[in-house]
Structure formats: structure tokens, C-alpha cells
């Protein structure tokens, strides 16, 4: 087996599990490493043990016989430099690279066993690798930010997205206020964040209001209409439980119909709704209330939306009111943010892609640490959405390499965004590309 290291092979030993090489460096020093004097003499030899990349399923160890020298000029001793040995860890530089790469694919314990090194060191190498990846992959701050959720190993984790670009830019172990506050505090150009779309989770709102008071928090309409659908579903289930078998057949396809918007009903379906009005009046009423709530989102102004909501509230008679409790409470608690939607109609168009990502990630969550999944998701270069620098047509000699240009932000009175023309803009992880990679089976967490 060629060793491919710049050393002279003295001896090789092999057991069932291990291969050991005894090595000596090829180039000997001619000067003192400390004062550069040529007046040096050999001292004793040291034997140092280092780990290397496993080979043929066996662990590889190197014993390097290193020469020590004494410098007669500065009266100090030094050891010869060992090429391709990592300065911090007792291993070859190529093993460090190997660990960096493999630690994103395999559990640390497997790797530790394969190499023969401690799991703690592998974790350390992984950690510093992640830090350097983070420094290499700086994502653009979005003007419209989303804070979403991913369920991983039975815990909700916050995910930061760029809504306009449909990208993921960060994910966290939890969804606490302190976590989000820390992130927002470290966010570059946070003044350009105009809107933050969130679901109804108070810590997100508090974090944004504390750190970026200029950003308008918006509750996506999706979260509100979802509550309407669950109100309806709750009633439907109660109703079905109280019916006779014959009646149940009568309402066989009700679930599908209830979810449909009134404007899309066929003649036959419209007939069914009027049949409900005569035979199941509360069901019909619930359906029309759901429609009323959806119609709020067809308002052409905030004022119109307020009016539509009061009309909805006025129709909540005693027999149906308690089914709408969650909706009433949500609108009460989140009034500003829900109606902010009518000034800033921000919506996560990527919900479906996100759900597919969530399912996949949750499966991986069983064998991998959160940090591994995060790193793999965020730092796989092929799925980043980037924009190459624009060609500067007026480029002439003497123009500084990084020419800063002010880009006015359209329609809003906010400070202009500064972009560096020659910089590649990285918007983060493209959700569509991510889903494609997942479906292709390319983004995997095993060998």
C-alpha cells in the first residue's frame, strides 16, 4: 500500500485490526528553527504516535521517529518539523480533512470506532469545521423574513427563511426568545428587514419587537384560515358521532365539501349546501361562517378587513360560538399582526416544499445530532441560491475592485441597501433544490 506521505518507511506491522508504520522524515533541518543559526547539533530522537486515515477497514497508526536538535547559538532545543502532521491534534492533516467530511455523513461514534480516536476529538474537529463553513457561507439578510418551525426528534425548532427568495438561512435547536434575540442581534444589515412573517408564537414576536422595532410582524393568513378549518372539523366530528347510520350516509362526502370555497362549488354541491340548510342548519351555518372568515382575506383595505371581521363576529350565535373560540382568541391576542397582513400581504408560498423538507429531516433526526443536520442542510453548496456579480459595463482602470453601489428600496422609505457589486450574493438554501435533492436521494446522511 503506498503511504503517500513525505516520510521514509522504516518498518510496517499489521494485525487483524490495525496497521502501524514506523517513519522518519526525509528532509533534515540545516538551520535553527528559532534563531536561524546554522550552528546546530543532533540531540536525542523522539517517537511520536499519530493517527492516519483508516485503510482496508483497519485503523492506521504512524510512529514518527523525530530528531531533536540543540542550537549552540541560542542554546535552545527544537524538534524537526513534521510535514503533513496537524499542529493541534495527534493526527495527519489528511485525517483531519477526512473527519471534517465524514462527520457530516456519519454518527461520531461510528467514526471514532473506525479511526480509533476518541469521540470527543471528532466532535471538536466537527465543531471547528462548522465554524469555518459558517464563515465561508454568509447568507444575505432578507427584506421579508419568515420564522417557521421544523419538528425534529420531537422538539420544535425555529427555522429562519427568506420569503421573497424561498430560501432557508438558519435553523436553531429550539424556538426560545433568547435564541431568536441572539440571532437578530448578530444579523448584518438588520435595518433592511421590513417584515417578519411568523406563526402565533409569542417569543418570536417579542424577539422581533425588541431587537428590530422597525420591522412589521405579520401573521400569515394561512395560520388564521387553518383555525377556521379546524373549527369546522371539530363540529363535523361531533355531528357525525350523534347521527344514525342512515344519516351518516347522507353526509358521506361532507368533509371534502366543507373544505371547498363557496365560489368553486358545482351546481350539485350548491344543492347539497341548501340541503344542509334545511336538514342540518348548524352544519350549513358553520360552513358559511368559515366562508365569512376566508372572505376577510379578500378585503381590499385594512378598514374593509376590520368591517368583515365584525360581521363575522356578529353572526356567531350561541349554538356555534364555542366552536370558534380558538379563532376569536387568536384574533384577540394577535390583532395587530393579523391585520398587518392587509398592509403587507406577506405569505409563505413555500409551505408545501417546507413540509416535504420537514418530513425528511424528521426521519434523519433519529440518528443524527441537530448540529449535523443543520450543517448538512445549510452548507451544501450545490443547493444554495446564488446570484453572480453583475458585469460593470462602465468598468475602467482605477475603479476599486469592490465598488459599492446604493440600491434604492422600492416604495418604502427605508435606508438604501448597500450591495457590493463584485460579490456573489448567496440567498441561502433554495427550498426547491433542497426538495429535489431529497427526492433524488442525493442529500443523505449515510455512506
Asked whether 82 and 25 are in contact (CB, 8 A), the reply is yes
72 binds Zn ion (CB under 5 A): no
- The residue range among 64-72, 122-130, 343-351, 353-361 that interacts with Zn ion, by the rule CB under 5 A, is 64-72
Q: At what angle do helices 108-115 and 93-102 cross, to 10 degrees?
A: 150
Length of the chain: 447
- The residue range among 30-38, 82-90, 224-232, 417-425 that interacts with Zn ion, by the rule CB under 5 A, is 30-38
At its nearest, how many Å lie between Zn ion and the CB of residue 76? 6
Closest CA to 161 of 150, 145, 175: 145
Whole-angstrom CA distances from 288 to 263, 281, 292, 309, 437 are 12, 11, 6, 14, 42
Residue of the chain from 1, 10, 26, 34 that contacts Zn ion (CB under 5 A): 34
At its nearest, how many Å lie between Zn ion and the CB of residue 29? 11
At its nearest, how many Å lie between Zn ion and the CB of residue 27? 18
DSSP 8-state secondary structure symbol assigned to residue 301: S
Closest CA to 284 of 292, 297, 275: 275
At its nearest, how many Å lie between Zn ion and the CB of residue 88? 25
Closest CA to 436 of 348, 357, 355, 349: 357
Looking at the Cβ atoms of 66 and 435, the one nearer to Zn ion is 66
What are the phi and psi torsion angles at 228 (to 5°)?
Answer: -65, -45
What does the alpha-carbon distance between residue 175 and residue 232 come to, in Å, rounded to a whole number? 29
Tally of CA atoms within 13 A in the half-sphere of 2 that contains its CB: 2
Residue of the chain from 5, 19, 71, 125 that contacts Zn ion (CB under 5 A): 71
At its nearest, how many Å lie between Zn ion and the CB of residue 79? 13
- The residue range among 33-41, 184-192, 234-242, 285-293 that interacts with Zn ion, by the rule CB under 5 A, is 33-41
What is the separation, in whole angstroms, between the first and last Cα of the chain? 23
At its nearest, how many Å lie between Zn ion and the CB of residue 167? 55
Q: What x/- string results for residues 36 through 55 when contact with Zn ion is judged by CB under 5 A?
A: -x------------------
Looking at the Cβ atoms of 32 and 353, the one nearer to Zn ion is 32
At its nearest, how many Å lie between Zn ion and the CB of residue 431? 59
35 binds Zn ion (CB under 5 A): yes
What does the alpha-carbon distance between residue 203 and residue 298 come to, in Å, rounded to a whole number? 29
Q: How many residues bind Zn ion (CB under 5 A)?
A: 7
Looking at the Cβ atoms of 74 and 181, the one nearer to Zn ion is 74
At its nearest, how many Å lie between Zn ion and the CB of residue 35? 3
69 binds Zn ion (CB under 5 A): no
- The residue range among 65-73, 84-92, 124-132, 325-333 that interacts with Zn ion, by the rule CB under 5 A, is 65-73
Residue of the chain from 22, 24, 70, 74 that contacts Zn ion (CB under 5 A): 74
Whole-angstrom CA distances from 24 to 6, 27, 47, 96, 446 are 9, 9, 10, 21, 37
- The residue range among 6-14, 18-26, 70-78, 390-398 that interacts with Zn ion, by the rule CB under 5 A, is 70-78
Look up residue 100 and give its three cell numbers.
471534517
Looking at the Cβ atoms of 74 and 288, the one nearer to Zn ion is 74
At its nearest, how many Å lie between Zn ion and the CB of residue 32? 3
Residue 167, C-beta contacts closer than 8 angstroms, at least 6 positions apart: 139, 161, 385, 427, 428, 429, 430, 431
Q: SS3 for 50?
A: strand
Look up residue 331 and give its three cell numbers.
384574533
At its nearest, how many Å lie between Zn ion and the CB of residue 37? 5
32 binds Zn ion (CB under 5 A): yes
What does the alpha-carbon distance between residue 360 and residue 152 come to, in Å, rounded to a whole number? 10
Looking at the Cβ atoms of 74 and 153, the one nearer to Zn ion is 74
At its nearest, how many Å lie between Zn ion and the CB of residue 34? 5
Q: SS3 for 272?
A: helix
- The residue range among 32-40, 49-57, 220-228, 388-396 that interacts with Zn ion, by the rule CB under 5 A, is 32-40
320 binds Zn ion (CB under 5 A): no
What does the alpha-carbon distance between residue 370 and residue 172 come to, in Å, rounded to a whole number? 8
CB atoms within 10 A of CB 446: 10
At its nearest, how many Å lie between Zn ion and the CB of residue 77? 9
Looking at the Cβ atoms of 69 and 183, the one nearer to Zn ion is 69
What does the alpha-carbon distance between residue 145 and residue 163 come to, in Å, rounded to a whole number? 6
- The residue range among 69-77, 108-116, 139-147, 215-223 that interacts with Zn ion, by the rule CB under 5 A, is 69-77
CA angle 157, 160, 165 (to 5 degrees): 145
- List residues binding Zn ion (CB under 5 A): 32, 34-35, 37, 71, 73-74
Amino acid at each position: 500500500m503506498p503511504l503517500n506521505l513525505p516520510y521514509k518507511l522504516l518498518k510496517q506491522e499489521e494485525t487483524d485490526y490495525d496497521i502501524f508504520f514506523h517513519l522518519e522524515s526525509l528532509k533534515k533541518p540545516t538551520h535553527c528553527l528559532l534563531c536561524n543559526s546554522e550552528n546546530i547539533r543532533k540531540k536525542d530522537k523522539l517517537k511520536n504516535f499519530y493517527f492516519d486515515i483508516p485503510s482496508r477497514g483497519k485503523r492506521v497508526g504512524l510512529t514518527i521517529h523525530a530528531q531533536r536538535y540543540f542550537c549552540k547559538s541560542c542554546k535552545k532545543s527544537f524538534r524537526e518539523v513534521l510535514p503533513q502532521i496537524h499542529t493541534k491534534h495527534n493526527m495527519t492533516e489528511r485525517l483531519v480533512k477526512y473527519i471534517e467530511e465524514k462527520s457530516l455523513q456519519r454518527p461520531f461514534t461510528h467514526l471514532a470506532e473506525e479511526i480509533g480516536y476518541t469521540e470527543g476529538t471528532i466532535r471538536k474537529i466537527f465543531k471547528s469545521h462548522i465554524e469555518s463553513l459558517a464563515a465561508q457561507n454568509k447568507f444575505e439578510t432578507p427584506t421579508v423574513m419568515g420564522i417557521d418551525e421544523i419538528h425534529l426528534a420531537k422538539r420544535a425548532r425555529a427555522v429562519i427563511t427568506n420569503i421573497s427568495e424561498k430560501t432557508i438561512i438558519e435553523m436553531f435547536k429550539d424556538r426560545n426568545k433568547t435564541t431568536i434575540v441572539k440571532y437578530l442581534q448578530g444579523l448584518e444589515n438588520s435595518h433592511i428587514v421590513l417584515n417578519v412573517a411568523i406563526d402565533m408564537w409569542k417569543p418570536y414576536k417579542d424577539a422581533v419587537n425588541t431587537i428590530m422595532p422597525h420591522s412589521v410582524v405579520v401573521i400569515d393568513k394561512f395560520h388564521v384560515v387553518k383555525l377556521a378549518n379546524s373549527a369546522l372539523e371539530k363540529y363535523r366530528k361531533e355531528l357525525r358521532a350523534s347521527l344514525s347510520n342512515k344519516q351518516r350516509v347522507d353526509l358521506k362526502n361532507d368533509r371534502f365539501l366543507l373544505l371547498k370555497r363557496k365560489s368553486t362549488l358545482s351546481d350539485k354541491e350548491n344543492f347539497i349546501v341548501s340541503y344542509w340548510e334545511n336538514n342540518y342548519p348548524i352544519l350549513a351555518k358553520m360552513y358559511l361562517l368559515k366562508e365569512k372568515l376566508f372572505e376577510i382575506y379578500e378585503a381590499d383595505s385594512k378598514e374593509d378587513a376590520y368591517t368583515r371581521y365584525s360581521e363575522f363576529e356578529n353572526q356567531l350565535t350561541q349554538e356555534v360560538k364555542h366552536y370558534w373560540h380558538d379563532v376569536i382568541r387568536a384574533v384577540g391576542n394577535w390583532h395587530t399582526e393579523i391585520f398587518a397582513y392587509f398592509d403587507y400581504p406577506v405569505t409563505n408560498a413555500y409551505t408545501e416544499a417546507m413540509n416535504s423538507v420537514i418530513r425528511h429531516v424528521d426521519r434523519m433526526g433519529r440518528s443524527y445530532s441537530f448540529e449535523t443536520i443543520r450543517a448538512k442542510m445549510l452548507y451544501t453548496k450545490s443547493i444554495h441560491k446564488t446570484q453572480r456579480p453583475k458585469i460593470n459595463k462602465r468598468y475602467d482602470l482605477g475603479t476599486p475592485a469592490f465598488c459599492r453601489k446604493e440600491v434604492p428600496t422600492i416604495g418604502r422609505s427605508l435606508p438604501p441597501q448597500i450591495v457590493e457589486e463584485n460579490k456573489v450574493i448567496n440567498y441561502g438554501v433554495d427550498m426547491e433544490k433542497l426538495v429535489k435533492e431529497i427526492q433524488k436521494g442525493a442529500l443523505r446522511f449515510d455512506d
